[in-house]
């Protein structure tokens, strides 16, 4: 097993470069290697529902395919949106492990706490988090789902009122759920996690740092990813329209 410095490619599937800068800062804080940060060039400025996620997936996949085609050495991809948009499709096109920040955060929260509460952005996104909890087998360990009712774009600001609103929502969640930890339900919240944890006195997990840590751990094992069944590379076929350049040529 050959040891090397891992490189994790973090992809922000919205088009906000300001948010990407904050995500990259959080990722680099815990990384033992290198962080390659990409921002989608196509799609919504923020993801706050099913439509937004669907519109973001082609741009997300474009970033992964470009990285693969450039033969850039990458040990894992992290999708930096709590809805984990396009995760299954990303695992088809990637030759290395792919995680979403919701999956990573839920795995980490379940490791460090008996029961955790999720605090996310808008209430309309709660059903998406609920679905992912069931899909990842973590519903029993999640004590409750809560929204602070701030839009994703609010976390691009350094306004203290944003932190205060999120802090109040986390306190309310801990009290209502009798939980032991908070999982932040937005990649844009990642820079506030450490400050929140210091104030609340419980683990406050963000999926960005959790995802980087988990992907680097997989890299250290040297395990390859399976490319069988629904994780096999996509069948080569023409793609028409704006993403024609992503068509795969027959092997």
Which residue intervals of the chain bear CATH 3.40.50.12500?
Answer: 7-100+210-246, 102-207
φ/ψ region of 84 (left if φ > 0, alpha if ψ in -120 to 50, else beta) reads left
**H helix intervals, 44-159:** 50-69, 87-93, 101-112, 126-135
pLDDT at residue number 1: 47
**CATH (residue range 102-207):** 3.40.50.12500
pLDDT at 72: 87
In this prediction, residue 71 carries a pLDDT of 86
The tokens for 182 are: 């908070």
Q: Which fold has domain 7-100+210-246?
A: Rossmann fold (3.40.50)
Terminal Cα distance for the chain, rounded: 29
Q: In the chain, which residues have pLDDT < 70?
A: 1-3, 249-251
Q: What is the pLDDT of residue 3?
A: 67
The structure's pTM equals: 0.95
């Amino acid at each position: 097993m050959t040891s090397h410095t891992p490189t994790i490619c973090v992809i922000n599937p919205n088009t906000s470069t300001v948010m990407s800068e904050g995500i990259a800062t959080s990722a680099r804080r815990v990384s033992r290697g290198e962080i390659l940060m990409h921002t989608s060039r196509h799609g919504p400025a923020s993801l706050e529902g099913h439509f937004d996620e669907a519109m973001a997936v082609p741009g997300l996949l474009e970033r992964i395919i470009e990285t693969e085609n450039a033969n850039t050495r990458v040990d894992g991809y992290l999708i930096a949106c709590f809805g984990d948009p396009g995760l299954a499709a990303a695992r088809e096109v990637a030759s290395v492990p792919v995680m979403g920040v919701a999956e990573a955060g839920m795995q980490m929260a379940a490791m460090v706490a008996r029961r955790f509460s999720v605090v996310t952005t808008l209430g309309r996104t709660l059903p998406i988090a609920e679905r992912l909890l069931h899909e990842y087998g973590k519903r029993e360990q999640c004590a409750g789902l809560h929204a602070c009712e701030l839009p994703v774009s609010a976390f691009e600001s350094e306004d203290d009122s944003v932190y205060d609103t999120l802090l109040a929502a986390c306190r309310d969640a801990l009290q209502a759920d009798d939980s032991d930890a908070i999982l932040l339900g937005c990649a844009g919240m990642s820079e506030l996690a450490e400050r929140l944890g210091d104030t609340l006195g419980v683990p406050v997990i963000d999926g960005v740092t959790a995802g980087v840590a988990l992907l680097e751990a997989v890299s250290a094992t040297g395990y390859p990813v399976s490319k069988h069944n629904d994780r096999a590379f996509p069948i080569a076929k023409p793609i028409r329209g704006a993403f024609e350049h992503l068509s795969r040529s027959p092997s």
